[in-house]
Amino acid sequence: MSMIQGATGDWEVVIGLEVHAQVSSKAKLFSGASTEFGAEPNTQVSFIDAAMPGMLPVINGKCVEQAVRTGLGLNAKINLYSVFDRKNYFYPDLPQGYQISQYLQPVVGEGRVTVDLADGSAREVGITRLHLEQDAGKSLHDQHPSMTMVDLNRSGVALMEIVSEPDMRSSEEAGAYLAKLRSILRYLGTCDGNMQEGSMRADVNVSVRRPGEAFGTRCEIKNVNSIRFVKQAIEYEARRQVDVLEDGGTIDQETRLYDTDRGVTRAMRTKEEAHDYRYFPDPDLLPLELDPNWVEAIKQSLPELPDQKKARFEKDFGLSPYDADVLVAEKENAEFYEQVVATADPKLAANWVITELFGALNKAGRGIDDSPVSAEALAGLIVRITDNTISGRIAKEVFEIMFETGKPADAIIEEKGLKQVTDTGAIEAMVDEVIAANPDKVADVKAGKDKLIGWFVGQVMKASQGKANPQMVNDLLKAKLLG
């Protein structure tokens, strides 16, 4: 638990997150219009989404299934009976004048997520609920001097609002929770987790208190769209609240925005009666009733989730918790690794994927999906290390060429003549040469300076341009100098 040092002592920050995750579906929650990102304005709008009089919503079964699948992936209670309500407010990008949401009876109840922290410890974060709701349209304020432009393409797209308990105690924990949630949703295939396109946004509730005291008054930071910004916003907001309280002030419960350019949070202009949503059950929709057998069938079809995969990587492949964690965080990385270990040594494979491949991809600004070195190709390289065709050092050289050219390891080894020398005669000749050229050092070794052997190994390796088998060089030198 990390504390904030104030002038008058320590403060504890308390954080809860409301995450809006766009449901992966072809059509919207209550209409047959497409959810595809990036279309021309208002081309993916049905009369239902535009709230034309008399239009009636009909629920998309896939969206319900995705919400239930997510609930099961979050170890949460599935409510077989839930209700859609109208949340009433006025805004130009909300043509209905209300959002169809779920209020008192959400489709998913309490669950929990295990969050892994950088120091290797884990923390449980409680899930309060998950409910289905409609997204609003998009308002563009900078297109015209006196008008706001409204695009309803997003209007009616299905969102899952996932509400956490106020269980987090630092920006790091909140960031790790959001990362874990994103990872789980992507494994489940229920949300693409693309934060740049707004597929996941978080409302962050922050308060501070003296350790052991009751919760303080919270502020809600709206619509933060990256893990990094969530962490920055919490750091700033917690410090701001501590400063206000230590100056003898009080915290107003209010909605704030995070200004990413200036790195500060500021109060939104207070909308009068902003929180008077006058929820009531939507008379256009009957309650959502689920068949327990249907829920059970979804449960049986859940894929292996990050926690399970991590445990399996540790157990079956002997990986460290850290390496396993790095590999399972992104589904695509885990799949890539599993393809490599199909033919290559698991521990070597983990090192190569994490250090060399991720490093090179990062440097090149590429993702694992367009890696110039395929999983099979990387496995092909690792196999050449384990069968002693090349040393680990030469392998790094080969890898660089593979990354640049996309050629397989064997072709490069052949072409460049990098094959490790394992011919005893050839190595012996090089060893003899080095010994003959350094009589004074030979005398030192014989006089008891055993550590100089390492220097001799280095000289022979250099003479062989790195191609001699280091173990054989070592053995031969020992036999000749000490034997």
Residues that bind other proteins (CB under 8 A): 25-27, 31-34, 40-48, 50, 58-64, 88, 90-92, 139-141, 143-144, 146-152, 257, 268-269, 272-273, 276, 278, 281, 285-289
Residue position matching structure tokens 């090179």: 360
| Cα–Cα dist 213/208, whole Å | 10
Nearer to other proteins, 88 or 226 (CB): 88
- The two tokens of residue 91 are 């805004």
> Based on CB atoms, which residue is closest to other proteins, 33 or 457?
33
Distance CA 227, CA 229 (A): 5
Shortest distance in whole angstroms from residue 61 CB to other proteins? 4
> Closest Cα partner for 362 from 333, 323, 391, 394?
333
CB of 261 to other proteins, least distance (A): 16
270, burial (CB in 10 Å: exposed 0-12, middle 13-18, buried 19+) = exposed
Please identify, using beta-carbon distances, which residue of 283 and 425 lies nearer to other proteins: 283
Q: Structure tokens of 44? A: 């993916």
Strands 255-259, 219-224: parallel, antiparallel or unpaired by DSSP?
parallel
Strands 255-259 and 280-281: unpaired
CB of 335 to other proteins, least distance (A): 25
For every residue of 266-315, DSSP letters joined together read EEPPPPTTTT----EE-TTS--EE--HHHHHHHHHTPPPPHHHHHHHHHH
Smallest distance from other proteins to CB 17, Å: 22
CB 288, min distance to other proteins, A: 6
Q: Please identify, using beta-carbon distances, which residue of 93 and 444 lies nearer to other proteins.
A: 93
By beta-carbon proximity to other proteins, the closer residue of 108 and 368 is: 108
**191 closest CA partner among 344, 20, 402:** 20
Cα separation, 346 vs 340, whole angstroms? 8
Of the pair 143, 300, the CB lying nearest other proteins is at 143
Using the minimum distance from each CB to other proteins, give the nearer residue, 297 or 364.
Answer: 297
- C-alpha separations of 115 from 18, 123, 150, 321, 475 in Å: 16, 5, 39, 13, 48
CA atoms within 13 A on the CB side of 382: 25
Least spacing, CB of residue 290 vs other proteins, in Å = 10
Q: Identify which of residues 55 and 354 has a Cβ nearer to other proteins in the complex.
A: 55
Closer residue to other proteins in complex, CB, 42/438: 42
Q: Shortest gap between Cβ of 34 and other proteins (angstroms)?
A: 4
CB atoms within 10 A of CB 403: 21
Q: How far is the CB of 172 from other proteins (least distance, A)?
A: 30
Residue pointed to by tokens 């077989």: 80
Q: How far is the CB of 83 from other proteins (least distance, A)?
A: 8
CA–CA dist 169, 335 (Å, integer) = 33
Q: Is the Cβ of residue 116 or residue 151 nearer to other proteins in the bound state?
A: 151
CA–CA gap between residue 238 and residue 259 (Å, rounded) = 15
Rounded Cα–Cα distance for residues 223 and 135 (Å): 13
> Residue 177 CB, nearest distance to other proteins (Å)?
28
| Pair 26, 35: CB distance under 8 Å | yes
